[in-house]
Chain A
Amino acid sequence: MKRNRMKVDIASILVLLFAAGAQVTPAQESHIGGITGEATRGRHLYRRYCVGCHGPLGDGRGENAPWVDPKPRDFVTGTFKCRSTPSGELPTDEDLFKSVTRGLVNSNMPPWLPLTEQQRADLVAYVKTFSSRFREEKPSAPVEVPSEPAADQQSIQRGSELYQKMNCWSCHGKEGHGDGPSAQTLVDNRGYPIPPFDFSAGTRFKCGESNQDLYRILMTGLDGTPMPSSSSALTPAQTWDLVHYLRALQINAKYSKASSPPRTGGSVALNKQLVRRPEHADLF
Chain B
Amino acid sequence: MFVFVLGMLLSLRPPARAIPAFARKYDLPCSACHEAWPKLNDFGIAFRDRGYQLGNEKDSPIWQNPSYWPITFRITPQWHRESSSNNVVDTVPGDPALGQTFQNVTTDGFDFGGLDIWAAGTLYKDISFSVLPSSDSSGSFHFENVFVRFDNLLGNRWMNVKVGKFELDNLVSEKRMLFLSNNGGFYQVYHYTPFREAQFLASNPLSTQVSTAFGLGDNQLGVELSGHSENSYTRYSVALLSSNEGNPGLPNRTYDGWVSFNHGFQVGKVGVQRVGAFAYFGERPTFLNTSLGAPVLGEGLGNKSFYRAGLTGLFYIKKLDFSTVFVHGWDNVFLGTGTAANAPLPVGARAPTWNGGFIETHFTYSPQLVFVQRNEFVRMSRQVFSTDPHDLGDVDAYSFGLRYYPFMFSRAGLALHAEYSLVRAYKSASPLPTSASPFGPDLRTSSVFFGLDFAF
| Direct A–B contact in the complex, CB atoms closer than 8 angstroms | yes
Whether the Cβ atoms of B58 and A64 lie closer than 8 Å is no
Whether the Cβ atoms of B155 and A254 lie closer than 8 Å is yes
Partner of B42, one of A44, A115, A118: A115
Whether the Cβ atoms of A52 and B271 lie closer than 8 Å is no
Give A54-86 interface residues, CB cut-off 8 Å to B.
63-64, 67-68
Whether the Cβ atoms of A52 and B28 lie closer than 8 Å is yes
Q: Which of B27, B55, B230, B272 has the most CB of A within 10 A?
A: B27
Q: How many angstroms between the C-alpha atoms of A204 and B55 in the bound complex?
A: 11
Q: How far is the CB of B446 from chain A (nearest CB, A)?
A: 34
Q: How far is the CB of A41 from chain B (nearest CB, A)?
A: 8
Whether the Cβ atoms of A109 and B56 lie closer than 8 Å is yes
Q: How many angstroms between the C-alpha atoms of A284 and B157 in the bound complex?
A: 13
Q: How far is the CB of A116 from chain B (nearest CB, A)?
A: 5
Q: Is B297 an interface residue (CB 8 A)?
A: no
Nearest residue in B to A64 (C-beta to C-beta)? B27
Q: Is A53 an interface residue (CB 8 A)?
A: yes
- For A108, list chain B residues within 8 Å (CB): 26-28, 56, 58
Q: Is B154 an interface residue (CB 8 A)?
A: yes
Q: CB within 8 Å of B: which residues of A?
A: 41, 44, 47-49, 51-53, 63-64, 67-68, 103-119, 203-204, 254, 279-280, 282-284
Q: Which 7 A-B pairs have the closest CB atoms?
A: A114-B46, A64-B27, A110-B54, A114-B42, A52-B29, A48-B31, A114-B43
Q: Is B203 an interface residue (CB 8 A)?
A: no
* Interface-side segment among B122-130, B383-391, B433-441: B122-130
**Known contacts A52-B410, A103-B54, A282-B125, A68 near B27 by CB under 8 Å:** yes
Q: How many angstroms between the C-alpha atoms of A98 and B150 in the bound complex?
A: 29
Whether the Cβ atoms of A114 and B231 lie closer than 8 Å is yes
Q: How many angstroms between the C-alpha atoms of A112 and B42 in the bound complex?
A: 10
Nearest residue in B to A104 (C-beta to C-beta)? B56
- For A114, list chain B residues within 8 Å (CB): 42-43, 45-46, 231-233
- For A53, list chain B residues within 8 Å (CB): 27
Q: How many angstroms between the C-alpha atoms of A104 and B60 in the bound complex?
A: 17
Partner of A106, one of B28, B32, B56, B153: B56
**Known contacts A48-B367, A284-B153, A106 near B42 by CB under 8 Å:** no
Whether the Cβ atoms of A203 and B43 lie closer than 8 Å is no
- For B110, list chain A residues within 8 Å (CB): none
Q: How many angstroms between the C-alpha atoms of A113 and B269 in the bound complex?
A: 16
Q: How many angstroms between the C-alpha atoms of A52 and B411 in the bound complex?
A: 11
Nearest residue in B to A281 (C-beta to C-beta)? B125
Q: Is B409 an interface residue (CB 8 A)?
A: yes
Q: Is B95 an interface residue (CB 8 A)?
A: no
- For A117, list chain B residues within 8 Å (CB): 266
Q: How far is the CB of B19 from chain A (nearest CB, A)?
A: 16
Whether the Cβ atoms of A63 and B125 lie closer than 8 Å is no
Q: CB within 8 Å of A: which residues of B?
A: 26-29, 31-32, 42-43, 45-47, 54-58, 60, 62, 124-127, 150, 152-155, 230-233, 266, 268-269, 271-272, 366-367, 409-410
Partner of A280, one of B125, B155, B232, B271: B125
Q: How far is the CB of A121 from chain B (nearest CB, A)?
A: 10
Whether the Cβ atoms of B126 and A283 lie closer than 8 Å is yes
A-B contact pairs, 12 of them (CB 8 A): A48-B31, A48-B367, A64-B28, A103-B54, A104-B56, A106-B56, A106-B57, A107-B58, A110-B26, A114-B42, A282-B125, A283-B126
Q: How many angstroms between the C-alpha atoms of A53 and B23 in the bound complex?
A: 12
Total A-B residue contacts, Cβ distance less than 8 Å: 98
Q: How many angstroms between the C-alpha atoms of A106 and B60 in the bound complex?
A: 12
Q: How many angstroms between the C-alpha atoms of A105 and B53 in the bound complex?
A: 13
**Known contacts A64-B410, A112-B43, A49 near B231 by CB under 8 Å:** no
Nearest residue in B to A50 (C-beta to C-beta)? B32
Q: How far is the CB of B106 from chain A (nearest CB, A)?
A: 40
Whether the Cβ atoms of A113 and B231 lie closer than 8 Å is yes
- For B55, list chain A residues within 8 Å (CB): 103, 110-111
Q: A111-B55, A113-B231, A204-B57 are in contact. List 11 more A-B contacts (CB 8 A).
A: A105-B56, A114-B45, A114-B232, A115-B43, A116-B271, A119-B271, A254-B155, A279-B62, A280-B125, A284-B150, A284-B155
Whether the Cβ atoms of A280 and B409 lie closer than 8 Å is no
Whether the Cβ atoms of B126 and A282 lie closer than 8 Å is yes
- For A103, list chain B residues within 8 Å (CB): 54-56
Q: How many angstroms between the C-alpha atoms of A52 and B28 in the bound complex?
A: 6
Partner of A283, one of B32, B42, B127: B127
Q: How many angstroms between the C-alpha atoms of A107 and B59 in the bound complex?
A: 11
Q: How far is the CB of B12 from chain A (nearest CB, A)?
A: 31
Whether the Cβ atoms of A107 and B56 lie closer than 8 Å is yes
Q: How many angstroms between the C-alpha atoms of A283 and B150 in the bound complex?
A: 10
Whether the Cβ atoms of B125 and A116 lie closer than 8 Å is no
Nearest residue in B to A2 (C-beta to C-beta)? B407
Whether the Cβ atoms of A49 and B126 lie closer than 8 Å is no
Partner of B154, one of A111, A113, A284: A284
Partner of A49, one of B32, B124, B127, B153: B32
**Known contacts A106-B57, A114-B231, A282-B126, A49 near B266 by CB under 8 Å:** no
- For B367, list chain A residues within 8 Å (CB): 47-48
Q: How far is the CB of A86 from chain B (nearest CB, A)?
A: 28
Q: How many angstroms between the C-alpha atoms of A3 and B60 in the bound complex?
A: 39
Q: How many angstroms between the C-alpha atoms of A47 and B366 in the bound complex?
A: 9
- For B266, list chain A residues within 8 Å (CB): 116-118
Q: How far is the CB of B151 from chain A (nearest CB, A)?
A: 9
Q: How far is the CB of A34 from chain B (nearest CB, A)?
A: 10
- For A68, list chain B residues within 8 Å (CB): 27
Q: How many angstroms between the C-alpha atoms of A67 and B409 in the bound complex?
A: 13
Q: How many angstroms between the C-alpha atoms of A115 and B47 in the bound complex?
A: 12
Q: How far is the CB of B149 from chain A (nearest CB, A)?
A: 13
Q: How far is the CB of A35 from chain B (nearest CB, A)?
A: 9
Q: How many angstroms between the C-alpha atoms of A112 and B231 in the bound complex?
A: 9
Q: How far is the CB of B344 from chain A (nearest CB, A)?
A: 55
Q: How far is the CB of A198 from chain B (nearest CB, A)?
A: 11
Q: How many angstroms between the C-alpha atoms of A107 and B29 in the bound complex?
A: 16
Q: How far is the CB of A5 from chain B (nearest CB, A)?
A: 14
Q: How far is the CB of B63 from chain A (nearest CB, A)?
A: 9
- For A204, list chain B residues within 8 Å (CB): 57
**Known contacts A49-B43, A52-B28, A280-B125, A116 near B56 by CB under 8 Å:** no
Q: How far is the CB of B411 from chain A (nearest CB, A)?
A: 9
Q: How far is the CB of B450 from chain A (nearest CB, A)?
A: 26
Nearest residue in A to B63 (C-beta to C-beta)? A280
